[in-house]
Amino acid sequence: MDLRFLVQLGIIGLTFFMLINASAVLVLAERKIMGFMQQRYGPYLVGPHGTLQPFADILKLLFKEELRPKGSDKWLFNLAPLLSVVAAFAAFSTVPWGAETTFFGLLDEPVALGVADLNVGVLVIFAITSMGVYGIVLAGWASNSKYSLLGGLRASAQMISYELSYATALAAVILLAGSLSLRDVVDAQQGTWLGFIPHWYVFLQPIGFLIYVIAGVAETNRAPFDFPEAEQELVAGYNTEYSSVRFALFPQAEYINMATMSAVATDLYLGGWHGPFLPPEYGWIWFLAKVGVLLFTYIWVRWTVPRYRYDQLMSFGWKWLFPASVVNLLVTAALVLYFNA
Amino acid sequence: MIPLNHYLIVSAILFGIGSAGVFMRRNLITILLSVEIMLNAVNLTFVAFGRFIGTVDGQIITFFVMTVAAAEAAVGLAIVISLYRHKESLNPDAFTSLKW
Amino acid sequence: MPESILFYAWSGLAIVTAALVVGQRNPMYSVLLLIASFGALAGLYVQLDAPFVAVAQIIIYAGAIMVLFLFVVMLLNAPQEDHAVWDRTHPLRQPGVARWGILLAVLLVVQLASALLRAVELGQQTKGRGDVDVISSVRTLGHVLFTDYMFAFEATSILILVAMVGAVVLARREGPSL
Question: What is the tens place of the pLDDT at every residue in A301-321?
Answer: 888 888 888 888 888 888 888
CA C39 to the chain's CA centroid:
11
Per the CB < 8 Å rule, is B54 touching C41? no
Characterize the bridge pairing of strands A111-114 and A96-101: antiparallel
CA angle A34, A233, C178 (to 5 degrees): 125
Say what the pLDDT of residue A254 is.
86
Instruction: Judge whether B6 is closer than 8 Å to chain C, CB to CB.
Output: yes
Can you give the pLDDT at residue C79? 58
ipTM value for the complex:
0.85
What residues in B contact C142, CB-CB < 8 Å? Answer: none
The Cα A273–Cα A290 span in angstroms is 9
Mean pLDDT of all residues belonging to chain C: 80
Residue B88 has pLDDT above 50, yes or no: yes
With CB atoms and an 8 Å threshold, state whether C52 touches A163. no
Could you give the angle at the alpha carbon of A182 between the alpha carbons of A181 and A183, nearest 5°? Answer: 90
Q: Give residue A163's pLDDT.
A: 85
d(CA B14, CA B56): 23
Under 8 Å between Cβ of C68 and B73: yes
Cβ contact (<8 Å) for B57 and C144? yes
Do residues A280 and A248 make contact, with C-beta atoms less than 8 angstroms apart?
no
- How far is CA C84 from its chain centroid? 26
Q: Is the pLDDT of residue C178 over 50?
A: no
Spatial contact of A251 and A85, defined as CB atoms under 8 Å apart: no
Q: Using CA atoms, how far apart are residues A136 and A194, in angstroms rounded to an integer? A: 47
Q: Is residue B23 one of the residues assigned to a domain?
A: yes
Confidence category of residue B25, pLDDT binned at 50, 70, 90: confident
CATH of C1-80, one of 3.40.50.2000, 3.55.50.30, 1.20.120.1200, 1.10.1750.10: 1.20.120.1200
- Rounded to a whole number of angstroms, the distance from the CA of C63 to the nearest CA of chain A is 5
In a domain, B98, yes or no: no
User: Which residue range is the domain that position B52 belongs to?
Assistant: 4-93
Q: Considering its fold, how many domains does chain B have in total?
A: 1
As a whole number of angstroms, the distance between CA B74 and CA B32 comes to: 11
Which residue ranges of chain A lie beneath pLDDT 70?
1, 101-109, 341
From chain C, the residues in CB contact with A180 under 8 A are: 138
pLDDT for residue C1? 66
Buried b / exposed e along A231-264 (16+ C-beta atoms within 10 A)? eeebbbbbbbbbeeebbbbbbbbbbbbbbbbbbb
Contacts of C70 in chain B (CB under 8 A): none
Amino acid C118: pLDDT: 77
Which CATH number is B22's domain given? 1.10.287.3510
Reference A235, options A175, A150, A299, A327; nearest CA is: A150
pLDDT given for residue A104 in this prediction: 66
State the Cα–Cα distance between residues A177 and A200, nearest whole angstrom.
11
B87 in contact with C at a CB cutoff of 8 Å? no
C11 interfacial to chain B (CB closer than 8 Å) = yes
Residue A138's nearest CA partner among A153, A123, A117, A128 is A153
Residue B51 pLDDT class (50, 70, 90 cuts): confident
Q: C59, A127: Cβ pair inside 8 Å?
A: yes
Contact yes or no for C22 and B30 at CB 8 A: yes
pLDDT in tens, C19-52: 888 888 788 888 889 998 998 999 888 888 888 8
Are B and A touching by the rule of 3+ CB pairs within 8 Å?
Answer: no
List the subunits that have 3+ CB pairs under 8 angstroms with C: A, B
Task: Examine chains C and A and say if they touch (3+ CB pairs below 8 A).
Answer: yes
pLDDT at C21: 87
Categorize the per-residue pLDDT at C158 as very low, low, confident or very high, splitting at 50, 70 and 90.
Answer: very high
Alpha-carbon distance B55 to C49, whole Å? 11
**Pick from B8, B44, B71: which is nearest to C122 by CB?**
B8
For the segment B36-51, the average pLDDT, to the nearest whole number, is 89
Report if residue B12 sits inside a domain: yes
Lowest mean pLDDT among A292-296, C94-98, C138-142: C94-98
- Cα A266 to Cα A270: distance, rounded to the nearest angstrom: 5
Asked whether residue C177 carries a pLDDT value surpassing 60, the answer given is no
CB A91 within 8 A of CB A257: yes
